[in-house]
Amino acid sequence: MTAVTAGRAQAAAGRRHQATPLQALRSPPVGRNTRTFGALAVVLVLVSLLGLVMVVLSSTVTSIEATGDPFFHAKRHALWLALGLAACVVTLRVDYHRWRAPLVTTGAVVATLAALACLLVPSPLVQVGNGSARWIRIGGLVIQPSEAAKLALVLFAASLLSRRLDRVASVRQTLLPLLVVFGVMAGLVLAQPSLGTVVLLGGILLAMLFVAGLPTRHVAALVALGAGAVVLFTMLIGYRRQRVVSFLDPWSDPYGAGYQAVQAQVGIASGGLTGVGPGGARSNLAYVPYAHTDFIFVTIAENLGLIGALVVVALFLSLGILGIRVVRDAPDPYGAFLAAGISGWFVLQAFTNIAVAQSLLPTMGVTLPFVSYGGSSLIVNLAAAGILMNVARQGRSA
């Protein structure tokens, strides 16, 4: 590339960076279609389409019981998928550097904390399900602020770490601000209550700090502190203690506390190697509670068998590997931190969900990204995926 051509390209990039958000949406996405970008797009399309099919299969009975319409949940999921894809297109086309602005990061954190705080105040807008106040209903729109908290934490942490990369081990200048924001978020989420989401938020932050080069002793201290807090908050609350007991021996109470775990194990075992095929799975008939949300992996394993389950595991492993490549090839530290937080979030949440479905972890109420039924989670996940792909488009390698 000649000096003149390089100068023109740099000037064009500068104009694009200074453009308004509306102008940015009208212009082509920054960067180029790298192999990593293409592979990410393929993986995300596959898991999203798989999710739509599995929600159709697993939600029919639940939909009939709730509304009389067998495709009620499937139609809503399809609508949310369309909205999520629209959000993905927006975040893909807008240069990811725009999310670094203090107004954006601070605004995202403040708005998320305000929404989480609203859940603590009894109100007709607060929707309670299974003993948890996690949703805000405005007309026909239902919002789950804890899903937005994951993206808000990623944006805030990436911005702060990229600005203070030379002081990443400084407790006062770097760790304290991050831990304060995380702590307030975690406290509000824990009050819903949702310990699983708090664990995910902590995992996201640790992944970003690891990529930032935080000394191993500090990482170990944070892991130990977090593990101790999880054990404490588990043993202090009766229903969480009961989950641990049923996790250790679900067959001791197969029709009570262990029912969900037992039915999940039966469903996965029933799938065999190739699955029972669409329509024949017990999980499709609501034998497995929350088969279209938290336990959708059971639906996959029973309908598609071990082969289908392994394909899903391979897709999320691929997502993690591609995320590492995006981190490696990111054009700047900010892009690397965004990629680390988002890809770490997807992979950690996916394998937590899969582990719970197979009784390798106690029940946590964590969904399978892009696959489980859910509005806020699907839209926020796809918006975050657009940011990840935007970083991949600007990567240093083809």
Give one DSSP letter per residue of 325-379, joined into a string.
HHHHH-SSHHHHHHHHHHHHHHHHHHHHHHHHHTTSS-------TTTSS-HHHHH
pLDDT number for residue 138: 78
295 alpha carbon, distance to own chain's centre: 15
pLDDT number for residue 116: 92
Burial of 176 (C-beta count, 10 Å sphere; 0-12/13-18/19+): exposed
pLDDT above 90 covers a percentage of the chain that reads 55
Residue 4 has pLDDT above 50, yes or no: no
Q: In what order do the strands lie in the sheet with 141-143?
A: 126-129, 132-138, 141-143
pLDDT above 70 covers a percentage of the chain that reads 91
Rounded to two decimals, the pTM is 0.89
pLDDT level of residue 194 (50, 70, 90 thresholds): confident
pLDDT (mean) for 370-382 = 93
Query: ∠46-52-54 over CA atoms, to 5°?
Result: 100
pLDDT number for residue 384: 97
DSSP SS3 for 225: helix
pLDDT (mean) for 302-307 = 93
Out of 6-10, 206-210, 281-285, 380-384, pick the least confident: 6-10
pLDDT level of residue 257 (50, 70, 90 thresholds): confident
Residue 306 has pLDDT above 50, yes or no: yes
Q: Nearest CA to 53 among 311, 273, 262, 260? A: 311
Are 382 and 84 contacting, i.e. CB atoms less than 8 angstroms apart?
yes
